[in-house]
Structure 1
Amino acid sequence: MDTEDLGLFGPGSVTWKVHEEPILIVAGLRSLYLQALHPRAMAGVAQNSNYRSDAWGRLVRTANYVATTIYGTTAEAEAAGRRLRTLHARMRATDPFTGEEFRVDDPDLLRWVHVTEVESFVSTARRAGLALRDDEVDGYYTEQRRAAALVGLDPADVPGTAAEVAAYYRDVRPQLRMTREAAETAVFLTAPPIPWKLSLPVRLGLTLGPPRWAYLGVAGTALGLLPPWALRLYGGLGLPTTAMSADLGVRALRLALAAVPRRYREGPLQQAAKERAARLAAA
């Protein structure tokens, strides 16, 4: 029964421990900066997505998908995966360098998106101050193979430990580069249109109102959290001081978010999952 189904992970998982952290909003942005460095992945997004005209709608849909895989019932997570696989199966894109047409659901591209996402989640949470042992980090990557299966990947082909993720990044780095589309996407991610309810200062001519300054701070932190090799591709130096500043920023932001009442920090799927877990524990 759904009332007794704790989904793919559950309250004893490392996944629930990591995704309890509202700081993962920064991790999501970090993963997008990383993903943009893969020319084919970036081409697939640019040629099949309306992210520029519906940036916040796309963000909400992505967040809902992740929340469903983490906190939804097994049936809800599997249904979300089926919808995503059906959508991706119809999509094609053209390689910006070779002109070759390719499928958006190519396993290499799906693996890149998956690894950058989960690595961003767990590394950001850890750098923000979440206490995670090395074996818990490995456990998170292993658990997230279940999420990889939902998008159509063979779990055996997906890195399942921190060492395997590091090896994967070393293998894929020769394919990464700063393309025109990557640069345009990075600029867009750093200064996207502000939702209309927050845009009054802009309409009054104050183009750098409080919402814009707040978002710029989050975007700057997300960029600073990138691996040094990714920062260098973006034209930065990847200095230790950059990482130190990002660590201080993300820790401060985590403390600020912790002060927000829980009812505002947790979405309905997370709340429902906790209620199911509490009922089972009481039973």
Structure 2
Amino acid sequence: MSSSPRSAATWALGPGAVSWKVLRNPAVFVVALLREGLLLTLHPPFAAAAVDHDRVHQDPVARYRTIARYAYSTVYGTPAEAERVAGFVRRNHVRVVGIEPVSGAPYQAHSQYELSLTQALLTDSWIASYELLVGPLADAERDGFVAEQRVAGALLGVPPEHLPATAAQLQRYIAVARRRWAAGDQAREILRPFTMGEYPAGSVIGELPPLRRLLVGRAIRGLTDVALLTMDPADRELLSLPRRPELRSPRAVRASARLLAAGLGSPRGVAAWERFMKADVAAIVRRARDAEHRAGGHERAARTFACPDPSAFVAPIDDLVANWRPEVLAD
């Protein structure tokens, strides 16, 4: 980053970015992250990595805070802040290695295809969750958001040519990627708390007193149902969650989604979310919000916003595995 012309810029993205609009309501983050996590289990190397290395059930709060720090820093932060947090993620990826049991093949987080797929699924999850919880984006806004998220991908080591540039390309990418998805035993192990409310011993929720565990489990299953509403039917079929919606009907789930968005999007909800994120991340978001206000609000700032060149942000990775699948971006 020090040699890049972007290093002198005020923002990694800046006021007027569609990403600033999409991530404004904390409910979008909550649902999008859960949605992405569910879909990641369908890619067997991701499921293996989650079982071998992830502590999502043991400490879900730390997991959400870690990803919030990355997401908000790369969207609302300065280039230096975005690079610092992305550097932490890249260093953490070094330890994510193992053997995927379905194929017996080794996996490594620092792999071209896996890094690209992770970013593509997260980008798709932001859009799907925003449109369910807040409202539809214009076609140009979807394209703008996809283009902006290539900056976040570059910070993790994904070159722009390995990520979709438009919303249509993103949908084709995921459709092709889906052909290789499967829900094996490891995926079922990860999904079980969301499907049946069974939390492993030693996990934060599994160690709660019975009544609190029941209430928290029901809340998480309710959030899972909201995330499922945003998915392609083919993805829901692959997940095959063996239960009815927690609230018994899709209409009730949609109503709960609206309540979630209204609650977390209110001043009180935003304040509570900022306390959850911790002071440093909350300060980044507040500073960005103030800058957008000084620029005349999002709509006015968007008139002059230009997405930065993601190639200026690409982080080199020494141990990168060359396993790119060009078919996911083929026309």
2:259 to 242, 252, 256: 252
* Aligned CA distance change for structure 1 residues 58 and 256 (closer, same or farther; 3 Å): closer
What's the counterpart of residue 272 of structure 1? 287
In structure 2, which of residues 249, 263, 271 is the aligned counterpart of residue 263 of structure 1? 271
Contact 1:35-1:41 at 8 Å conserved across structures: yes
SS of match in other structure, 1:93? strand
Provide the residue aligned with 2:51 in structure 1. Answer: 46
- For residue 181 of structure 1, give the secondary structure of its aligned residue in structure 2: helix
Instruction: Name the CA shift for 1:279/1:224 in 2 (closer, same or farther; >3 Å).
Output: closer
Q: Gaps (5+ residues) in structure 2? A: 1-7, 243-248, 275-281, 297-331
Q: How does 1:127-142 map to 2 (within 5 A)?
A: 127-142=132-147
> What letter corresponds to residue 235 of structure 2 in structure 1?
A
Give the AA of the match of 1:49: D
Aligned equivalents of 1:6 and 1:133: distance in 2? 27
CA distance in 2, matches of 1:105, 1:272: 32
Match of 2:167 among 145, 150, 162: 162
Matches within 5 A, 1:101-250: 101-189=106-194, 191=197, 203=209, 205-207=210-212, 210-235=215-240, 246-250=253-257
> In the aligned structure 2, how far is the partner of 1:279 from the partner of 1:269?
16
**C-alpha contact (below 8 Å) 1:56/1:195 kept by paired residues:** no
State the alpha-carbon separation in 2 of the partners of residues 258 and 54 from structure 1.
25
Amino acid at match of 1:38: H
The secondary structure found in structure 1 opposite 2:118 is: helix
TM-score normalised to structure 1 length: 0.84
Q: Name the counterpart of 1:56.
A: 61
Matched position secondary structure for 1:102: strand
How far 1:279 moved relative to its partner?
6.6
SS of the residue corresponding to residue 107 of structure 2 reads strand
Identical-pair percentage: 26
* CA distance in structure 2 between the partners assigned to 1:95 and 1:194 by the alignment: 26
Q: Secondary structure at the match of 1:51?
A: coil
| Distance of aligned partners of 1:243 and 1:133 in 2 relative to their CA distance in 1, 3 Å threshold | farther
Alpha-carbon distance change, 29 to 154 in structure 1, aligned in 2, over 3 angstroms: same
Higher relative contact order (CA 8 A, sep 6+): 2
Mark the CA change 1:246 to 1:166 in structure 2 (over 3 Å): closer, same or farther.
farther
Structure 1 unmatched runs, 5+: none
Q: Does 1:13 align with 2:40?
A: no
- Once superposed, what is the RMSD of the aligned Cα atoms? 2.8
Please state whether the residue corresponding to 1:233 is helix, strand or coil.
Answer: helix
Separation (CA, whole Å) in 2 of partners of 1:110 and 1:148 = 8
Number of residue pairs matched by the alignment: 270
Matches within 5 A, 1:18-33: 18-24=22-28, 25-33=30-38
Instruction: Check conservation: 1:225, 1:247, Cα contact below 8 A.
Output: no
**Residue deviations 1:221-257, cap 9 Å, x none?**
11232211111012269xxxx8766544423321233
What does residue 68 of structure 1 align with? 73
